[in-house]
């Protein structure tokens, strides 16, 4: 049962590799940006012909939230057209598509836990193009899982946790946003959920939310990172208005995970517990590098 992973060298792709190694799985084919260019339909056709995948995991995305405001067409090409290309190829070849989306499809202006059926109203280009990607998948394919996630981090690639650990060594004090609230997600947990869908060959297709349990702000997230890592870095709370960015972010994007727990049987850890796991994993990697 071959599984093609587009964007296989990114953060989530590396987490999938970690989990598959732990589970002893060897049928996942990880494609980097060149090997699995989701804008090249001829290449996609060749890959489907060669590997005859039963599942396709799309981790490829344009995720530079602020740059997307200036690179609208490139963001749309990758997040919408690329998703459509994979959906059409899956429909033609009888494969199941597992596609990763984002909490940024929501406006996030009301402190309400967001369910899959709630109206999506993106307030930045990144969120808009990711929503468009969801829509073209649903229009062209029946057998799909779209997993919206949020605040993704891990011991791999660039992310908020690794940035805080780096800056925490360099500075005595950091200003961090306190009025944007959401749920951090350990990408290894998300990878485990994806593999659970594949291993059980679930037929509960559709749109789902997946993030770690619990709610926090970026400020409290940073505080927890420094506390667990044993750093003495001081954290100063900043309001969004004090730290303007090119793209507007949702103020509240906490998602309801009831559907994925009911339909898929997802076991979702609490965000702080997973943060402990990640920081421990980073320490192990540091010791390996030092040796």
- One digit per residue, the tens of pLDDT, for the chain of length 291 reads 899 999 999 999 999 999 998 887 778 999 999 999 999 999 999 999 999 999 999 999 999 999 999 999 999 999 999 999 999 999 999 999 999 999 999 999 999 999 999 999 999 999 999 999 999 999 999 999 999 999 999 999 999 999 999 999 999 999 999 999 999 999 999 999 999 999 999 999 999 999 999 999 999 999 999 999 999 999 999 999 999 999 999 999 999 999 999 999 999 999 999 999 999 999 998 888 776
- Written as six digits, the tokens of 137 are 């998948």
Cα 61 from Cα 81, distance rounded (Å): 11
Q: Which structural domain range is residue 10 located in?
A: 3-157+184-214+253-269
How many folded domains does the chain comprise? 1
Asked whether residue 106 is domain-assigned, the answer is yes
Asked whether residue 278 is domain-assigned, the answer is no
Asked whether residue 140 is domain-assigned, the answer is yes
Query: Which H or E run includes 152?
Result: strand 152-153
Cα 211 from Cα 189, distance rounded (Å): 9
**Catalytic residue check, 126:** yes
Asked whether residue 241 is domain-assigned, the answer is no
Catalytic residue, chosen from 55, 62, 126, 208, is 126
- Written as six digits, the tokens of 179 are 């009025």
- The reported pLDDT for the residue numbered 249 is 97
Q: How does strand 55-58 pair with strand 96-102?
A: parallel
Asked whether residue 248 is domain-assigned, the answer is no
Query: Which H or E run includes 99?
Result: strand 96-102
Cα 12 from Cα 187, distance rounded (Å): 6
Asked whether residue 258 is domain-assigned, the answer is yes
Query: Which H or E run includes 284?
Result: helix 271-290
Cα 30 from Cα 179, distance rounded (Å): 38
Cα 155 from Cα 113, distance rounded (Å): 28
Helix (H, G, I), strand (E, B) or coil at 206: strand
Asked whether residue 52 is domain-assigned, the answer is yes
**For residue 96, what is the domain's CATH number?**
3.40.50.720
Asked whether residue 64 is domain-assigned, the answer is yes
């Amino acid at each position: 049962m071959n599984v093609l992973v587009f964007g296989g060298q990114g953060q989530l792709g590396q987490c999938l590799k970690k989990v598959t190694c732990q589970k002893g799985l060897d049928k996942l084919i990880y494609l980097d940006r060149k090997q699995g260019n989701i804008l090249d339909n001829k290449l996609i056709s060749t890959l489907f012909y060669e590997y005859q995948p039963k599942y396709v995991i799309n981790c490829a995305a344009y995720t530079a939230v602020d740059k997307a405001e200036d690179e609208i067409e490139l963001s749309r090409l990758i997040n919408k057209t690329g998703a459509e290309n994979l959906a059409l190829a899956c429909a033609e070849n009888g494969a199941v598509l597992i596609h990763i989306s984002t909490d940024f499809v929501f406006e996030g202006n009301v402190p309400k836990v967001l369910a899959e059926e709630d109206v999506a109203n993106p307030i930045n280009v990144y969120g808009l193009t990711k929503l468009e990607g969801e829509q073209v998948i649903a229009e062209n394919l029946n057998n799909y899982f779209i997993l919206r996630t949020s605040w993704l981090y891990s011991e791999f690639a660039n992310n908020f946790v690794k940035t805080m650990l780096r800056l925490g060594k360099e500075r005595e004090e950091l200003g961090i946003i306190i009025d944007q609230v959401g749920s951090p997600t350990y990408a290894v947990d998300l990878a485990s959920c994806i593999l659970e869908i594949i291993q059980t060959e679930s037929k509960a297709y559709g749109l789902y939310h997946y993030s770690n349990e619990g709610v926090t702000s970026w400020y409290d997230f940073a505080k927890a990172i420094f506390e667990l890592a044993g750093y003495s870095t001081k954290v100063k709370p900043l309001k969004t208005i004090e730290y303007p960015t090119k793209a507007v972010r949702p103020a509240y994007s906490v998602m309801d995970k009831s559907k994925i727990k009911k339909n898929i049987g997802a076991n979702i850890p609490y965000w702080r517990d997973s943060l402990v796991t990640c920081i421990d994993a980073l320490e192990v990697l540091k010791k390996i590098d030092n040796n």
